[in-house]
Chains A and B, each alone.
Chain A
Amino acid sequence: MDLSLAIFVQIIAAVLLIIALMVGNAVVMVYMERKVAGFIQRRPGPYEVGPWGTIQAICDSMKLLAKQLYRPGNVDLILYYLAPVLAFFPVLLLFLPIPFGPWLTALHINEGIVLILAFAGLGVLSNLLAGWASNNKFSLLGAARAVAQTVAYEIPMILALLAVVFLSGSMDLKRITEQQGQWPWEWNILLQPLAFFIYLVSLVGETNRAPFDLPEAESELTAGFHTEYSGMGFALFFLSEYANMLLVSFVAAVFFLGGYKGPIADGFWWLFIKAYAVMFFMVWIRWTFPRVRFDQLLNLNWKWLLPLGLLNLWATAIIMKIFL
């Protein structure tokens, strides 16, 4: 990576655009989630504010901005204020290697997927810090659970993605996209269906989404590790959760669903359509299934997803060596 001015400007512009994308995504996702939840429950969702309730999400974010930042008395100040910031910034970096279009990759490095996995680990830290700094047993328990869950579900995720890396022979996201075709039957999902399934399940577990959302379950742990945060602190956690969801959906789209390639015209719109389809699926799952108990959650990961992931990897390696 040479440090010429062009690359510097490119990265700065990309970071600004990514911030805009993250905020826009949070607004869209909040609206989509509430509407889809409403329709699944046979009710309309937000409809008063703006046409079909579209301005509702903006009003919610304005409310969050304007709320008083209230914190409990004896919290560790540095850690308390560091935690939401630490939740937000690494997610920003994670969007850099994603190929939005043939010419629209912010940072074209050879180990794109490793960068994504590495900075996802930093997100885990923010949960811990938030839980500890809140000086609250429930938050601590929520944080401990969240971290155990996230760290556990990273592993099947890595294994599923590794299977695709085996197929493509490269960790570069752009090359993986280029090796898939335009039409759905040329995508990696047909070559690695089990890996796709494992990835989908670990996706839901990684981002602490229902039915694996014990760490932030309102009815169980009073919002878990972000109990003591209000206003902008909570907004940052919220934002980073939705950005995380968007990111893993982008990775799913790039690895399994063909990235920016589509039947008619290649471009960033296909990537967005596919990523939002995956996110719609996640919202659908959220409002269908009851919450999974924590030991069942971890059992699912260690006893089912991990062996399946290893099996898949082994089978892929054998098939590749023998037949390809």
Chain B
Amino acid sequence: MNDLIGQVFNAIGALLADLEAWLSPYLPGQSKVALLAFGFYVLLLLGGGLTAILARNLVRATLGLIITFLGVAGFYLLLASPFLAMMQLLIYIGAVCVLIFFAIMLTKNTSDGEEASLPRLANLIYAFLAGLAPLVVAGPLIVQGTKDIVTRQPVDSGTNLGEGLLSIDLLSFELISIILLVAMAGAVYLAWRPSGGEERA
């Protein structure tokens, strides 16, 4: 029964491949599809970023941040690192944004506070220039260094990441885990109230 299903699917796949070969002069090629995806992710990034900055409501701003992270995950996909894309979703959207949400929802944020109003024009110009600076300085460096990324063979990102973390970059891996441990210990210390005792400063 399963062999039968397999044969049926193979036959359908062959048919579709023939169809695609026949249609290919008229369909956009693979690079065009990648371009479409790129454009979509850029839209997500910019739209999300603008929402995060310009929204009056803090929760909507966080939603914009989430959309931005989705766009970044899309970029990781385009760079043939599906593992990193999933990790981006899992960690940034699933954990970091949730924590930001908690901080916003459970604290008092008035809708007419100073975050809600647009900043002064001078501040806007300064902010724009500050955003432009890394682009102008670091951008050409990055582009120079990764010129061959388009022709590089994609690798299984999960395996490579694992091997790299545990052999070449072992020191940084351990240091990062120590930082996380210190952060957790600090959080526990700050929140800890000994039973029956007074709150620690």
Contacts and interface: CB of A to CB of B under 8 A. Distances in A.
9 contacts: A3-B33, A4-B16, A76-B60, A110-B158, A114-B86, A128-B98, A131-B105, A144-B105, A265-B1
Contacts of A82: 63
Interface in B44-89: 57, 59-60, 63, 66, 82-83, 86-87, 89
A8 B94 CA distance: 28
Q: What is the interface of chain B mostly: helix, strand, loop, or mixed?
A: helix
B20 A6 contact: yes
B90 A125 contact: no
A255 interface: no
Interface in A118-171: 118-122, 124-125, 128-129, 131-132, 140, 143-144, 147, 151, 154, 171
A118 B98 contact: no
A104 B102 CA distance: 40
B123 to A, nearest CB: 27
A118 B59 CA distance: 22
A2 interface: yes
Interface residues of B, number: 38
A114 B77 CA distance: 14
A109 B82 contact: yes
Nearest to B66: A125
Contacts of B94: 118, 120-122, 124-125, 151, 154
Q: Which among B33, B98, B158 has the highest number of chain A CB atoms within 10 Å?
A: B98
B93 to A, nearest CB: 6
Contacts of A102: 2, 5-6
A128 B99 CA distance: 11
A60 interface: no
Contacts of B9: 103
Nearest to B4: A103
Nearest to B14: A6
A5 B16 contact: yes
B168 interface: no
Interface in A1-48: 1-6, 9
A115 interface: yes
B42 interface: no
Q: What is the interface of chain A mostly: helix, strand, loop, or mixed?
A: helix
A231 interface: no
Contact of A117 (B1, B20, B90, B97): B90
A101 B60 CA distance: 42
Interface of B: 1-2, 5-6, 9, 12-13, 16-17, 19-20, 23, 27, 30, 33-34, 57, 59-60, 63, 66, 82-83, 86-87, 89-90, 93-95, 97-98, 101-102, 105-106, 156, 158
A262 to B, nearest CB: 12
A124 B98 contact: yes
Given A118-B89, A122-B93, A76 B17 contact: no
A233 B101 CA distance: 22
Interface in A147-199: 147, 151, 154, 171
Given A103-B6, A118-B94, A121-B93, A111 B83 contact: yes
Nearest to A114: B86
Given A6-B13, A119-B89, A140 B105 contact: yes
Contacts of B27: 5
A124 B92 CA distance: 13
A273 B59 CA distance: 42
Contacts of A110: 82, 156, 158
